[in-house]
Amino acid sequence: MQVPFLNLRLHHEPIRAELRAAIEQVIDSSAFAGGSFVEQFEREFAQFCGAKHACGVGNGTDALWFALLALGVGPGDEVITVPSTFMATAEAITYCGARPVFVDIDEETYTMDASQLERAITPRTKAIIPVHLFGQMADMNAIIAVARKHGLPVVEDACQAHGAEYKSRPAGSVGDVGCFSFYPGKNLGALGEAGAAVTNNAELKKKMDVLRDHGQTKKYHHTVVGWNGRMDGIQGAVLSIKLTHLAGGNEKRREHARHYGKLLSGLDEIILPKEAADRTHVFHIYAIRVARRDDMIRALAQKGISCGIHYPIPVHLQEAYASLGLKSGSFPVAERCAEAFVSLPMYPELTHQQIETVALAVRTWVEESLVAV
């Protein structure tokens, strides 16, 4: 049985007519860059996140970048985050002129180890970005306690955590700003690139609105140097449709994760993802940890099962950040996890039979590997 890592065609097929109708509405109104469809989605997404405001932008990187700029992050500053993340988290810091400073991750949740946060703070620290990796929120109470002690804002990188919760509070609503990507493969994905930042702070919302529109407060009146980071009208309309299906899709993902967990339990050679007791994981990625992962990926591929790796090289070891002077061993938990992560197929449309096929292939590989040893 073929099991693709992701199947967006299958995901869109049931709502294709709705999406076409929404796109035609945008064409009929010519509201292509920003406009009423984006504004509608902003209201809907803010409400979904339990926030007062949302700012629709071109992608998740824009959301992070504009949030940091709106908070006053600039040259000479430092922003604390984790090395276990997609490159965009650090890029947004760098493009503010600031320097990323890393804190290692918790080995069970793969999110920021709050116990190590305070020692990373210096007089140059201007903000903290916890990353809600794979769909599970970081330990926000502990992080915010440290941040408030030092007078620092918290920017949630929630780009993989649409609908996740921490102590019943939605991702994006706990820190000062929450940033989301709507890249097509995300739990809430656009038909192209899009992103958003949510906040309860009206002043931050206003600043981000200006930054995304070339620094304009009104047409041809530029109060700051901004950027072209507006959300497309078509993406706003599409996202409004897809938002209505997000909660159901997330529950399907959670159901699939429970099924994987049941079928793969008892394998000492594999570490399964763990959901913290005070959190609701939405499983954007279902990442297991296994030694000799390349061998396992090849074995599954021979059976028609596609897997992924998120992320094989921690940010601090990327060539792009060699100037930071960080070496292997700097963040041992992140490095250890990066060497062992394997992402199994995970999307709402997976069938139980497909999950059972994947689990059986993993179990078979483990058993055959033990015999070979």
**pLDDT score at 373:** 47
For residue 221, which phi and psi values (nearest 5 degrees)?
A: -115, 100
Q: Residue 195, class by beta-carbon neighbours within 10 Å (0-12 exposed, 13-18 middle, 19+ buried)?
A: buried
- What number is the average pLDDT over the span 240-267? 98
Residues 163, 246: Cα–Cα separation, whole Å: 8
Percent of the chain with pLDDT over 70: 99
Amino acid at 117: L
Residue whose C-alpha is closest to residue 164's, from 272, 253, 262: 253
Non-local CB neighbours of 125 within 8 Å, separated by 6+ positions = 77, 78, 79, 80, 101, 150, 152
Q: Average the pLDDT over 320-348 and give the result.
A: 98
Phi-psi region of 21 (alpha: psi -120 to 50; beta: other; left: phi over 0): alpha
Q: Is the pLDDT confidence value at 189 over 80?
A: yes
What's at 290, amino acid-wise? V
- Under a CB-based contact definition with an 8 Å cutoff, are residues 335 and 328 in contact? yes
Give the whole-number percent of the chain exceeding pLDDT 90: 98
Give pLDDT tens digits for 71-82.
999 999 999 999
Q: Which helix (H) or strand (E) holds 180?
A: strand 177-181
pLDDT reported for residue 369? 83
Taking alpha carbons only, the member of 191, 229, 177 closest to residue 59 is: 229
Task: Tell me the mean pLDDT in the region 331-337.
Answer: 98
Is residue 372's pLDDT more than 70? no
Q: Cα(246)–Cα(251) distance, rounded to whole angstroms?
A: 9
Mean pLDDT of the 237-241 span: 98
Mean pLDDT of the chain: 97
Query: Tens of pLDDT along 206-223?
Result: 999 999 999 999 999 999
Q: Exposed, middle or buried, 79 (CB in 10 Å: 0-12/13-18/19+)?
A: buried
In this prediction the pTM is 0.97
Question: How confident is the model over 98-151, as pLDDT tens digits?
Answer: 999 999 999 999 999 999 999 999 999 999 999 999 999 999 999 999 999 999
Question: Is 156's pLDDT higher than 50?
Answer: yes
Quick: pLDDT tens for 2-46: 999 999 999 999 999 999 999 999 999 999 999 999 999 999 999
**Residues whose CB falls within 8 Å of the CB of residue 99, separated by 6 or more in sequence, listed in order:** 77, 78, 79, 93, 124, 324
CB 142 within 8 A of CB 116: no
Tokens matching residue 228: 């072209």
pLDDT at 343 exceeding the cut of 50: yes
For each of the domains in the chain, give its residue range(s) and CATH number, in order of start. Answer: 8-103+110-243 (3.40.640.10), 247-372 (3.90.1150.10)
Task: Fill in the amino acid letter for 132.
Answer: H
Q: Where are the alpha helices (DSSP H) in the chain?
A: 8-12, 16-29, 36-49, 60-70, 88-94, 140-149, 202-211, 233-243, 246-264, 293-301, 332-338, 352-372
- 202: how many CB neighbours lie within 10 A of its CB? 10
Residues forming beta bridges with residue 128, ordered by sequence position: 80, 154
